[in-house]
Amino acid sequence: MNILETKNLKKIYSSRFSNVQVQALENVNFSVEKGEFVAIMGESGSGKTTLLNLLATLDKPTSGKVILNGKDITHLSSKEVSSFRRNHLGFVFQDFNLLDTFSNRDNILLPLVLNGTSVSEMEQRLNPIATSLGIISLLNKFPYEISGGQKQRVALARALITHPELILADEPTGALDSKSTKDLLDLLTQIHENGQTILMVTHSTLAASYASRVLFIRDGVVFHQIYKGKKTKEEMYQQISDTLTVMSTGGAFHV
Ligand SMILES: Nc1ncnc2c1ncn2[C@@H]1O[C@H](COP(=O)(O)OP(=O)(O)OP(=O)(O)O)[C@@H](O)[C@H]1O
């Protein structure tokens, strides 16, 4: 079953002060099945952030549709979008986006507080997630007291606490050292194996090699995709690297 689908997604940025227009996405079509872990790769300027912003309802496309769980989310009113985002999507960012004035526990619970969830329900949700992410001992600390890898695990807990249909991760390992990167990727794999749908934008071949499918964007269209299937992480890594080389040297693929 498709949980996410983009149909003929196009985004043209136009400036109010000049006639210059930038076509960031030309015609993006893809779908994500429930439970998939999809990585999106592409060179700088290929339109990845633009795509993520459209999927996250942070921006509207020039034309085309984003369908999440059967609902076209491109025409939500400004009143609807923030509760929609909170209830259906979980976000993980490169720079964690945790509030330093809140404890880690309160950072994680914030989306539930905004939704008016009861305290007992919050605790019931928090415990299993914090246990599986290994952050129970960090809950009463503040973000500035913990390492980058720990912060990203707290951010992941915050993303999971609402049981979102889809986790959108923007370069989640970008600010982490190699040990924390591997730990985070193992956790994402575990979450994926538990049935969570994840879409991750990344420049990292290593991060993408953990995904069940990698989509490559070039010049505003989906240029190629690789399914993990029965490949090992190492085989996947090699195939992603080869594809990036073909892309950077202007070679052609057919999706
Ligand atoms: N707000 C904006 N106004 C005008 N042009 C924009 C805007 N945001 C992005 N662009 C342009 O759209 C194109 C796609 O940008 P986007 O940021 O989506 O690429 P990206 O693949 O995420 O790049 P990177 O990997 O460097 O983050 C680029 O040519 C960029 O300059």
Contact 92, 172 (CB under 8 A): yes
pLDDT at 18 over 90: no
Q: How far is the CA of 9 from the centre of ligand 1 (A)?
A: 15
**220 CB near ligand 1 (under 6 Å):** no
Question: For residue range 121-146, what is the model confidence (pLDDT) as tens digits?
Answer: 999 999 999 999 999 999 999 999 99
Q: At 51, is the secondary structure helix, strand, or coil? A: helix
Domains, the chain:
2-97+165-248 (3.40.50.300)
* Amino acid residing at 141: K
* Amino acid residing at 176: L
- Phi, psi for 12 (deg, rounded to 5): -115, 125
Pocket test for ligand 1, best of 23, 26, 50, 216 (most atoms within 8 A of CB): 50
- Which DSSP state fits 198? E
Q: State the pLDDT at residue 255.
A: 53
Residue nearest atom 28 in ligand 1 by C-alpha distance = 45
Q: How far is the CA of 46 from the centre of ligand 1 (A)?
A: 7
Q: How far is the CA of 205 from the centre of ligand 1 (A)?
A: 21
Residue nearest atom 1 in ligand 1 by C-alpha distance = 13
Task: Return the structure tokens found at 23.
Answer: 């076509």
Query: Which ligand 1 atom sits nearest the alpha carbon of residue 23?
Result: 12
**52 CB near ligand 1 (under 6 Å):** no
In the structure, what pLDDT confidence band is assigned to residue 8 with cuts at 50, 70 and 90? very high
ipTM, two decimals, is 0.96
Q: State the pLDDT at residue 177.
A: 94
In the structure, what pLDDT confidence band is assigned to residue 83 with cuts at 50, 70 and 90? confident
User: What are the b/e assignments for 164-200, b being 16+ CB within 10 Å?
Assistant: bbbbbbbbbbbbbeeebbbbbbebbbebbeeebbbbb
Residue nearest atom 11 in ligand 1 by C-alpha distance = 24
Q: Which residues contact 201 (CB under 8 A, 6 or more apart)?
A: 39, 40, 41, 48, 49, 51, 52, 169, 170, 171
List Cα–Cα distances, 228 to 100, 223, 224, 238, 242, in angstroms.
38, 17, 13, 12, 14
Question: For residue range 166-211, what is the model confidence (pLDDT) as tens digits?
Answer: 999 999 999 999 999 999 999 999 999 999 999 999 999 999 999 9
Query: Which ligand 1 atom sits nearest the alpha carbon of residue 42?
Result: 21
Question: For residue range 219-230, what is the model confidence (pLDDT) as tens digits?
Answer: 889 999 999 999
Residue nearest atom 24 in ligand 1 by C-alpha distance = 44
Residue nearest atom 2 in ligand 1 by C-alpha distance = 13
What burial class does residue 231 get, using C-beta atoms within 10 Å of its C-beta: 0-12 exposed, 13-18 middle, 19+ buried? middle
Q: How far is the CA of 53 from the centre of ligand 1 (A)?
A: 11
pLDDT at 97 over 80: yes
| Of 24, 42, 62, 63, the residue nearest 202 (C-alpha) | 42
CA angle 242, 248, 249 (to 5 degrees): 90
In the structure, what pLDDT confidence band is assigned to residue 16 with cuts at 50, 70 and 90? confident
Q: How many CB atoms lie within 10 A of CB 140?
A: 11
What is the average pLDDT score of the chain?
A: 93
CA dist., res. 170 & res. 155, Å (int): 12
pLDDT at 32 over 60: yes
Q: State the pLDDT at residue 254.
A: 54
Residue nearest atom 6 in ligand 1 by C-alpha distance = 13
Q: Model-level pTM? A: 0.93
